[in-house]
Amino acid sequence: MEEPLIPVGLMSHTAHIRSHRKPRRSASTVAMRAGVASGVLGTLAVATAAGTAYAAEPVTQTLELPVFTGDLAAQVAESAQATQQAAANYQLNAERDAAAAAAAKEAKQDLADAKKAEAKKKAEAARKAAAAEAVSRSAERSTLSTTTASSSSTTVSAPASGSVATVIAFLKAQVGDAYVMGGTGPNAWDCSGLVQAAFKQVGVDLPRVSQDQSMSGTDVSLSNLEVGDILYWGGKGSAYHVGVYIGNGQYLDAANPSKGVVIQELSGYPASGAVRVL
């Protein structure tokens, strides 16, 4: 059977297009989706309310301070006592160090004083030795004086000219100067310092001390002295005093602190020996 024809003018303009209506959802699906949405909204509401409440009320944090117990107080006291003891020990050590430094300084000064005292002692011993030598020779003076007097007529004295004259002139210019042990002029002398300076005027370089000066030049007999000969007292090489023979039985020397530089009679204090360097 043929379908009836519908007149073209009576057809809908959308009759040829399939329907665009969405399929109907079941009631369960709609209910489930509504429940989920409701849950999400409820959660957001709760979170929002909580956040608002948290922001509205400030949070106060309570710190609990430690409570000092009896043991802790004892430890603090013990620590303070230890600190006090350490300070006392430090002060004690500082005082000990200061005392040690002062003792060292005092010991150094004592050593210097002892050296000075030793030097004075040696000088005094030398002086006493010279005095003892003079006393020991006093018994021989009469004999030696006679010998010197008898030989004076035969003693040949070189004329005071040339180098010898220069030496004697220098020596006489120092008469009256002071005697000082170790002195080498120009206004204070000891015996060997004066003799050394006198001969240096003519280019003769003598040793500094009496012992060495007694070993210089050529040995001369006391009975054959000439002007300018060096006289010494004591052993040769161990002489304790020197002077210079100036003729006429006299010699010039830096005698001692009480006399200074003087001219003396050889007969009053005869020499032990003589050397000639000019």
pLDDT by 10s per residue, the chain, length 278: 455 554 444 444 544 545 545 555 554 554 445 454 455 445 444 444 444 444 445 555 555 555 555 677 777 777 788 788 888 888 888 888 888 888 888 888 888 777 777 766 776 666 666 555 555 444 444 343 434 443 333 333 444 447 999 999 999 999 999 999 999 999 999 999 999 999 999 999 999 999 999 999 999 999 999 999 999 999 999 999 999 999 999 999 999 999 999 999 999 999 999 999 99
Strand partners, 159: none
In angstroms, the CA 16 to CA 144 distance is 184
Residues in CB range of 265: below 8 A, 6 or more apart: 249, 250
- β-sheet bridge partners, residue 261: 254
* Lookup: tokens for 223: 């009975």
Centre a 10 Å sphere on the Cβ of residue 81 and count the other Cβ atoms it contains: 10
Cβ-proximal residues to 164 (8 Å cutoff; 6+ apart), any chain: 158, 227, 228, 278
Q: How far is CA 71 from CA 40, 66, 68, 77, 261, in A?
A: 59, 13, 8, 10, 92
Q: What is the pTM of this model?
A: 0.45
Q: Give the pairing of strands 188-189 and 178-179.
A: parallel
At 57, list the tokens.
């009320």
The answer for residues whose C-beta is within 8 angstroms of residue 66's C-beta and 6 or more apart is: none
The residues spanned by each domain of the chain are 140-276
Which architecture, in CATH terms, is 140-276?
Answer: Alpha-Beta Complex (3.90)
**Residue 137: how many CA atoms within 13 Å on its side-chain side?**
18
